[in-house]
Structure 1
Amino acid sequence: METVLIVEDDVDWDVNIKTQMQLISDNLRKLTDINNTDKSPYGQAWDVLWIGHCGEHTSVDTPRIEFSDATVPPRNTYTGWANKYMYNIDAGKRAIQIGVNPVCSFGYALTLKGAEKVLDWAGKGGNEAFDIRMLQGCQTKDLKCLVVNPEVMHHYQPPKELGYTSLVAESDGKGVAADEDKFEHVMETIGSSRPDLEAVQMERVYSVEI
């Protein structure tokens, strides 16, 4: 096995994920200048490919390729600490870029050599959370990181209007977190009873709580 995709168990994505990943594949190959003789969808010229995260820096100087993607929502609907960076990407476009400051490990792919590097690098700990340790590896160039921005996978949390309170919000004194049974019920209700599932999926992906 030359590559692997790792996702957290509470991650959600758009129903158009296959189309999104095709666009990512095409443009990743351009960014890394993969030879046409290499028939692998994403090539091997990277260690970590972040497709799910909770924010990433980007600017006009960030090495990247922007590409049109009809599933990218309006920039003002992207909430959280990285919202301001979305305005450095043209409206209606997504980017595949060199990793600068990717936070959270909602969904990421590893090449075989990348997995070996991550085990060595993150295994050293450094008293940091796993995603922060990988972020540091991107910044020091010990890991060759590519990031999809904005992301196509994100942590799922039910809309607040359904009475959901996260553990993060509870720790900030903003209510009491729902127990797991209630959380599962809310997920099922949203996923099975709403006819506009595609719109709901997009709302989930772009609902960020910091």
Structure 2
Amino acid sequence: MERRTNRWLLLALALLLSITIVRHADIGRIRHVAHNITNRLRPLYTGAHANTTLGFGAIIAVSRPGSPRREGLIRAANITEIDITIPDQPQWNAEDIANLRAAENSTLTRGSALAWLGHLNALRYFLHNTTLSTVLILEDDVDFSLHLRTHQIPLAATAMRMIASNLTVPPSPRSHKSRLQNYWGIPNTWDLLYLGHCGDIYPPESLASLPQSQVIIYPDPTLPPHSALHGKTSSQLSDLHVPEGHRLLHPSIFPLCTFAIALTRHSAQRILTQYAACEADGGTEAYDVRILEACRDPTFRCWTVNPELFHHVEAESEIATVNGGGQWSVTEADGDRREEAFNIGCGVRSLAVREGESVAEARERLRGEERCRIGGVEGDEVTQGGQRS
């Protein structure tokens, strides 16, 4: 326990001293420049575990009745001690699907339509509960790390609070409370947080074109080594010269998939009524494409944690199954079979609970297993430029 505490203290020191910000530089080579933000970060960072809803008002999962993926999600939530709500979904009918499809040149399949309707149902559930100001919406096949609540979320939230402190809060007719700092920063500074996606992939010049104060590279020793990441993720981090054991937080550029997205009440309402109420004329492949299109709107502020904190597990595609074949899997498509989801170190859904073992006992044992031990960034390994010595 003492050793784990010392490691966490070293991580806190590393975060305070070594968060780096991407500076406009040569296109094709992003240089990391140290930014002295210790005094500004100190009041924002606590080192404490996130609460059971990861700093949001609630965590809601999109899961159809009878989904075979639900049991694994609930088990993962119990092991990591997070609270997930799974709203009931109606039995969608042909009229529901017809109302979702574009009036002209629809390309939406029945399977994609059902998944889309499930997301809209989650949004309505969130908005119906007037006590909730933010929500994290998950798809029921996501995997995440055993260290999600204890390390990954506190680090990402601190980085988001840092960015929020650099941004000008837009005027709001709502109460002054909308300008106050919360766990994920000032709510008026973001509309959507991509915590789970299948890649926000872009060339280095796209990142270099963003304002310096809006791109943060921060240490996270729970991130798997680049060699263990998906090939596209690994190549991207290499192209951006991101050190091992570090993640980026930046305005979303080209994010795909909605494995785990956080929303405010205002942004959820806009998605429900403006962006994703139905398929766009000319055709829309899926719900996540409409969300990407929403993020292209400069008035809709989206941010990406990269690499992601949630990714889907290898499983049959329910959309493909509904559509009558063509089961699809990321791992099979890339010729790489693994125990856990891509980019997720110590994925909870692939961890085994022994017979007769309590959840608490399993949690403590699993944290000591080789692939779940926290390594990477230590306080004396980080130089001012964010590079490993």
* Same fold? TM cut 0.5: yes
Q: Quickly say closer, same or farther: Cα 1:167–1:200, change in 2 above 3 A.
A: farther
Taking the aligned partners of 1:110 and 1:149, their CA distance within structure 2 comes to: 18
Query: Higher relative contact order by CA 8 Å / sep ≥ 6: 1 or 2?
Result: 1
In the other structure, the counterpart of 1:168 is 328
**Match for 2:197 among 43, 50, 53?**
53
Q: 1:9-28 to 2 correspondence within 5 Å? A: 9-18=140-149, 19-28=151-160
Q: Quickly say closer, same or farther: Cα 1:82–1:73, change in 2 above 3 A.
A: closer
SS, match of residue 140 in structure 1: coil
Whether the aligned pair in 2 keeps the contact of 1:14 and 1:198 (CA below 8 Å) is no
Taking the aligned partners of 1:80 and 1:118, their CA distance within structure 2 comes to: 32
Deviation at 1:200, TM superposition (A): 7.0
Deviation at 1:49, TM superposition (A): 0.5
RMSD: 3.1
Taking the aligned partners of 1:145 and 1:15, their CA distance within structure 2 comes to: 26
SS, match of residue 353 in structure 2: helix
Q: Determine if the alignment matches structure 1 residue 66 to structure 2 residue 217.
A: yes
Taking the aligned partners of 1:189 and 1:56, their CA distance within structure 2 comes to: 25
Whether the aligned pair in 2 keeps the contact of 1:53 and 1:151 (CA below 8 Å) is yes
Code of the aligned partner of 2:249: I
Greater per-residue strand proportion: 1
**Match for 1:123 among 250, 259, 277?**
277
Report how many aligned residue pairs link the two structures. Answer: 181
Code of the aligned partner of 1:23: L
Whether the aligned pair in 1 keeps the contact of 2:146 and 2:372 (CA below 8 Å) is no
In the other structure, the counterpart of 2:297 is 140
**Match for 2:162 among 30, 50, 56?**
30
Taking the aligned partners of 1:8 and 1:105, their CA distance within structure 2 comes to: 7
Taking the aligned partners of 2:156 and 2:370, their CA distance within structure 1 comes to: 20
SS, match of residue 230 in structure 2: coil
Q: Quickly say closer, same or farther: Cα 1:28–1:198, change in 2 above 3 A.
A: farther
Taking the aligned partners of 1:155 and 1:108, their CA distance within structure 2 comes to: 13
Q: Determine if the alignment matches structure 1 residue 191 to structure 2 residue 352.
A: yes
Taking the aligned partners of 1:30 and 1:121, their CA distance within structure 2 comes to: 29
* Structure with max Cα Rg: 2
Deviation at 1:82, TM superposition (A): 4.0
Where does the alignment leave 5 or more consecutive residues of structure 2 unmatched? 1-131, 170-178, 316-325, 336-347, 355-364, 375-389
Code of the aligned partner of 1:13: F
Q: Quickly say closer, same or farther: Cα 1:83–1:27, change in 2 above 3 A.
A: same
Whether the aligned pair in 1 keeps the contact of 2:233 and 2:307 (CA below 8 Å) is no
Taking the aligned partners of 1:198 and 1:11, their CA distance within structure 2 comes to: 22
In the other structure, the counterpart of 2:183 is 41
Whether the aligned pair in 2 keeps the contact of 1:27 and 1:67 (CA below 8 Å) is yes
Code of the aligned partner of 2:183: P
Q: Deviations over 1:126-185 (max 9, x none)?
A: 132111111112123252101100001110127xxxxxxx9215997x9xxxxxxxxxxx
Q: Deviations over 1:9-62 (max 9, x none)?
A: 111100111121111111101112279x72410131111101001101253514
Following TM superposition, the consecutive aligned residue runs of length 4 or more in structure 1 with deviations greater than 4 angstroms are: 169-172, 187-190, 193-198
Whether the aligned pair in 2 keeps the contact of 1:15 and 1:201 (CA below 8 Å) is no
Paired-residue identity, %: 28
**TM-score calculated relative to the size of structure 2:** 0.42
Q: Quickly say closer, same or farther: Cα 1:103–1:139, change in 2 above 3 A.
A: same
Deviation at 1:197, TM superposition (A): 6.0
Q: Quickly say closer, same or farther: Cα 1:11–1:68, change in 2 above 3 A.
A: same
Code of the aligned partner of 2:255: P
Code of the aligned partner of 1:64: V
Taking the aligned partners of 1:143 and 1:32, their CA distance within structure 2 comes to: 15
Taking the aligned partners of 2:197 and 2:259, their CA distance within structure 1 comes to: 5
Taking the aligned partners of 2:190 and 2:161, their CA distance within structure 1 comes to: 11
**TM-score calculated relative to the size of structure 1:** 0.74
Where does the alignment leave 5 or more consecutive residues of structure 1 unmatched? 159-165, 175-186, 203-210
Deviation at 1:67, TM superposition (A): 0.4
